[in-house]
């Protein structure tokens, strides 16, 4: 990478969709004036689902209103409910636990690995009881969870395996795309994700066609496609927008290039930061297999000071999860009294996400790396 004068570095670019503005406006007009007047779950949604299904080699892809909704729909379609337990990470996004609670089941929190910040398979296995029905590992920041071990764990105990791959679209581990290690997974399309869009939405990805068909029914008030007002089960409104489906289809051809740029930036960061481990800044593990590059996150002993240092020089950063899930008021009732999750507590205290989006220039990337290195080597 070649250096150039430093500039301000936003965490998420305000011009994320600027290059696609003419296409988006054209699609808005096209869908709005379509004689069919079908604005949700129409032919464009079906085409987008098929595009993803064919590209991933999945049995089915079902578009939903959000990644959160997709998680709940899978649990619901798996008949997981009251009296059941689902093992989830103690560190991560609220829907990991709230989706379980939404269907009436109980989240059981497992600690995470300190190097990847993903759920520890050994910690998860120690929590299996006769009430356990499913295990729900989540890919975290730029690293996929250890899905081969979770697949072996769930097979050993006869459990369902659901993959929270909301941040991991484009990630591949041992040749298997994120979302297809378990019986089902999810992607989120909120604008900050690797294949984000200007709105809310997500998909369920599954290797089980029957499970996909049940999710498809549940997302639309329990109706089968093409048969309105005949309800086969209680369902919800988790439907996908036709304009967004058309826009995602339009942008999908450029997804590999955008992902490759993120990977290039992440690799550069890791090369620069690996020598900083003894200086209180730890990058993600360098292995390229099972990486997804949603955000690039380091662990910093002096996180607040590092974030302030970067902010002073125009670099925006982000702390995602300042507390483990079971330490928060919403989920504390599901945490055993006195229980601790040391890995999750350390990650909550130390993690700091750096800009890694595909619109960063080489100069901006070098600027971020230079500032982190200067802080780490000078702070102590």
Is the Cβ–Cβ distance between 65 and 201 less than 8 Å? yes
pLDDT-derived band at 229 (thresholds 50, 70, 90) equals low
- Indicate whether 236 and 270 sit together in one domain: no
Range of the domain at 75: 19-252
In the prediction, which pLDDT does 236 show? Answer: 83
- Indicate whether 68 and 35 sit together in one domain: yes
43-56 vs 242-252: helix crossing angle, rounded to 10? 40
CATH number at residue 39: 3.40.640.10
- In terms of Cβ atoms closer than 10 Å to its own Cβ (0-12, 13-18, 19+), residue 320 is middle
The 10s digit of each residue's pLDDT in 99-158 is 999 999 999 999 999 999 999 999 999 999 999 999 999 999 999 999 999 999 999 999
Task: Measure the CA dihedral 88/92/95/98, to 10°.
Answer: 60
- Please provide residue 92's backbone torsions phi and psi, each rounded to the nearest 5 degrees: 150, -160
- Indicate whether 88 and 135 sit together in one domain: yes
Share above pLDDT 90 across residues of the chain, in percent, rounded to a whole number: 84
Mean pLDDT value of segment 210-232 = 83
Transcribe 264-323 into DSSP letters.
Answer: HHHHHHHHHHGGGGGGTEEPPP---TTB--SSEEEEETTHHHHHHHHHHTTB--B---SS
In the prediction, which pLDDT does 32 show? Answer: 87
Q: Count of CB atoms within 10 A of residue 198's CB? A: 15
Residue 1 belongs to a domain: no
Residue 293 belongs to a domain: yes
Mean pLDDT value of segment 83-111 = 97
Cα(339)–Cα(22) distance, rounded to whole angstroms? 54
Q: Smallest Cα–Cα separation from 236: which of 224, 211, 218?
A: 218
Residue 333 belongs to a domain: yes
In the prediction, which pLDDT does 192 show? Answer: 86
Cα(96)–Cα(86) distance, rounded to whole angstroms? 10
pLDDT for residue 3 is more than 70: no
- Indicate whether 198 and 273 sit together in one domain: no
Taking phi over 0 as left and psi of -120 to 50 as alpha, with beta for the rest, 199 belongs to left
pLDDT for residue 5 is more than 80: no
**Total residue count of the chain as it appears in this document:** 380
Share above pLDDT 70 across residues of the chain, in percent, rounded to a whole number: 97
Residue 305 belongs to a domain: yes
Is the Cβ–Cβ distance between 106 and 334 less than 8 Å? yes
- Indicate whether 259 and 214 sit together in one domain: no
Residue 133 belongs to a domain: yes
In the prediction, which pLDDT does 225 show? Answer: 74
pLDDT for residue 53 is more than 50: yes
In the prediction, which pLDDT does 4 show? Answer: 44
pLDDT for residue 245 is more than 50: yes
- Indicate whether 125 and 167 sit together in one domain: yes
Domain termination site, one of 237, 252, 267 = 252
Transcribe 312-360 into DSSP letters.
Answer: HTTB--B---SS-GGGSTTTGGGSPTT---HHHHHHHHHEEEE---TT-
- Indicate whether 210 and 125 sit together in one domain: yes
What token pair was written down for 182?
A: 């378990």
Q: Count of CB atoms within 10 A of residue 301's CB? A: 15
pLDDT for residue 209 is more than 80: yes
In the prediction, which pLDDT does 380 show? Answer: 57
pLDDT-derived band at 30 (thresholds 50, 70, 90) equals very high
- Indicate whether 211 and 342 sit together in one domain: no
In the prediction, which pLDDT does 60 show? Answer: 97
- Indicate whether 63 and 131 sit together in one domain: yes
Mean pLDDT value of segment 208-222 = 91
What are the residue ranges of helices labelled H in the chain? 21-32, 43-56, 67-77, 95-102, 121-125, 147-157, 209-218, 242-252, 255-273, 303-312, 342-350, 362-379
Residue 8 belongs to a domain: no
In the prediction, which pLDDT does 1 show? Answer: 55
Query: Domain tally for the chain?
Result: 2
Residue 173 belongs to a domain: yes
The 10s digit of each residue's pLDDT in 268-325 is 999 999 999 999 999 999 888 999 989 999 999 999 999 999 999 999 999 999 999 9
In the prediction, which pLDDT does 7 show? Answer: 55
Mean pLDDT of the chain: 93
Domain termination site, one of 227, 252, 277 = 252
Cα(283)–Cα(357) distance, rounded to whole angstroms? 17
pLDDT for residue 52 is more than 60: yes
- Please provide residue 230's backbone torsions phi and psi, each rounded to the nearest 5 degrees: -120, 110
Cα(71)–Cα(180) distance, rounded to whole angstroms? 14
- Indicate whether 128 and 210 sit together in one domain: yes
pLDDT-derived band at 230 (thresholds 50, 70, 90) equals confident
Domain termination site, one of 198, 230, 252 = 252
- Indicate whether 265 and 226 sit together in one domain: no
pLDDT for residue 191 is more than 60: yes
Is the Cβ–Cβ distance between 203 and 187 less than 8 Å? yes
The CA R_g of the chain, rounded to the nearest whole Å, is 21
Residue 10 belongs to a domain: no
- Indicate whether 263 and 247 sit together in one domain: no
């Amino acid at each position: 990478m070649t250096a150039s004068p430093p500039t301000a570095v936003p965490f998420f670019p305000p011009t994320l969709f600027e290059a696609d503005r003419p296409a988006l406006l054209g699609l808005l007009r096209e869908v709005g004036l379509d004689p069919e007047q079908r604005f949700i779950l129409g032919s464009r949604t079906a085409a987008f689902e098929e595009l993803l299904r064919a590209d991933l080699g999945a049995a089915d892809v079902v578009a939903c209103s959000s990644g959160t909704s997709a998680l709940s729909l899978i649990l619901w379609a798996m008949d997981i409910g009251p009296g059941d337990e689902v093992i989830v990470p103690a560190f991560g996004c609220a829907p990991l636990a709230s989706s379980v609670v939404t269907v009436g089941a109980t989240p059981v929190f497992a600690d995470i690995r300190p190097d990847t910040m993903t759920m520890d398979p050994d910690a998860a296995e120690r929590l299996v009881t006769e009430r356990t029905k499913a295990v729900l590992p989540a890919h975290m920041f730029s690293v996929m969870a250890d899905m081969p071990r979770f697949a072996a764990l769930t097979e050993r105990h006869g459990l369902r395996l659901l993959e929270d791959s909301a941040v991991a679209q484009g990630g591949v581990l041992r040749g298997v795309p994120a979302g297809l290690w378990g019986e089902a997974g999810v992607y989120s399309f909120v604008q900050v994700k690797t294949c984000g869009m200007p709105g809310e939405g997500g998909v369920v990805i599954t290797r089980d066609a029957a499970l996909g068909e049940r999710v498809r029914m549940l997302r639309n008030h329990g109706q089968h496609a093409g048969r309105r007002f005949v309800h086969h089960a209680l369902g919800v409104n988790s439907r996908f927008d036709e304009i967004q489906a058309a826009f995602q289809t339009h942008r999908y051809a450029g997804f590999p290039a955008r992902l490759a740029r993120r990977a290039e930036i992440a690799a550069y960061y890791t090369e620069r930061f690996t020598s900083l481990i003894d200086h209180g800044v730890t990058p993600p593990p360098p292995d390229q297999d099972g990486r997804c590059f949603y955000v690039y996150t380091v662990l910093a002993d002096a996180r607040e000071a590092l974030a302030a240092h970067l902010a002073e020089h125009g670099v925006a950063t982000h702390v995602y999860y300042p507390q483990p899930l079971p330490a928060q008021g919403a989920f504390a009732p599901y945490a055993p009294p006195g229980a601790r999750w040391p890995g999750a507590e350390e990650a909550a205290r130390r993690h700091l996400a750096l800009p890694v989006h595909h619109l960063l220039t080489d100069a901006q990337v070098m600027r971020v790396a230079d500032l982190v290195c200067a802080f780490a080597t000078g702070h102590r």
